[in-house]
């Protein structure tokens, strides 16, 4: 998971304008992007769970 967080953090960072290289950013800036990356990955997990729940067929044991 740490690899995923780091990859997403770097991607978010590179999407920003007027930023320096990731390697040159101070740790406090990197931690901010890692925070956003964790949030994004958690939202993705929640979204996938919701999609899976909606895709499950509903069965009625006693149909009229």
Q: What is the pLDDT of residues 17-45, one digit of tens each?
A: 888 999 999 999 999 999 999 999 999 99
Contact yes or no for 9/41 (Cβ under 8 A): no
Residue found by looking up tokens 């590179």 in the block: 14
Residue 29: the pLDDT is 96
DSSP, res 61: S
Using CA atoms in the order 45, 46, 51, 54, what is the torsion angle rounded to 10 degrees?
140
A 10 A CB-CB count for 58 gives 4
Q: What is the pLDDT of residue 64?
A: 61
How many Cα atoms are found within 13 Å in the side-chain-facing hemisphere of 9? 21
Model pTM above 0.85? no
* Mean pLDDT (the chain, rounded): 91
Residue 42, pLDDT score: 97
């Amino acid at each position: 998971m740490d690899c995923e967080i780091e990859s997403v953090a770097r991607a978010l960072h590179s999407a920003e304008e007027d930023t320096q290289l990731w390697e040159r950013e101070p740790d406090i800036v990197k931690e901010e992007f890692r925070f956003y990356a964790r949030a994004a990955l958690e939202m993705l997990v929640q979204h996938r769970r919701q999609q899976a729940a909606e895709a499950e067929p509903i069965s009625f044991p006693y149909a009229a």
